[in-house]
Amino acid sequence: AISDKAKAGQQLFAANCTLCHNIDGPDDPALSASRLTGFFSGGDITPVPAPNLTDLRTRQTLGAGITDLTEDNLHSWIRNPEDFKPGNYMSERAVLYQNGPASLTDDEIDSLIGYLLDLR
């Protein structure tokens, strides 16, 4: 069963990440719904290829192998991927980063991490 924290993270993922990232499985948020939301809000709905995050918990590295996958590194990556990998698509394209670092609280990022690392 998914924890309450991971459920909150799932909602954050669906609202903020599914334009580019996807997840395979029964709880996969509909990518088309994310694109519709982006369209109606005036955003760019062109998807950018990004890693499938289904098995993130089984990986050892993050950011195409540039750092170890730890909760602290993942938190820092989500907060501001530009610090890890300058010029990455996530910083350039995601609505979360329009004004620099992610517009999420630390608790929201922790919930998102809880969801991503709880996927089975």
Beta strand pairing status for 61-62 and 67-68?
Answer: antiparallel
pLDDT digits (tens, 9 = 90+) for 62-73: 988 899 999 999
Give the largest CA-CA distance in the chain. Answer: 37
Residue 102: which domain range?
4-118
- Structural domains counted in the chain: 1
Mean pLDDT by 10 residues, the chain (120 residues): 89 87 60 54 62 90 92 95 88 82 93 89
- Here the tokens at position 19 are 């334009």
CATH code: domain of residue 31 = 2.60.40.420
List the one residue out of 90, 104, 54, 70 whose CA is nearest residue 62.
70
Rg (CA), the chain: 14
- What pLDDT is stored for residue 89 in this prediction? 82
Q: What is the DSSP string of 90-111?
A: HHHH-GGGTTSS-SS-HHHHHH
> What is this structure's pTM?
0.77
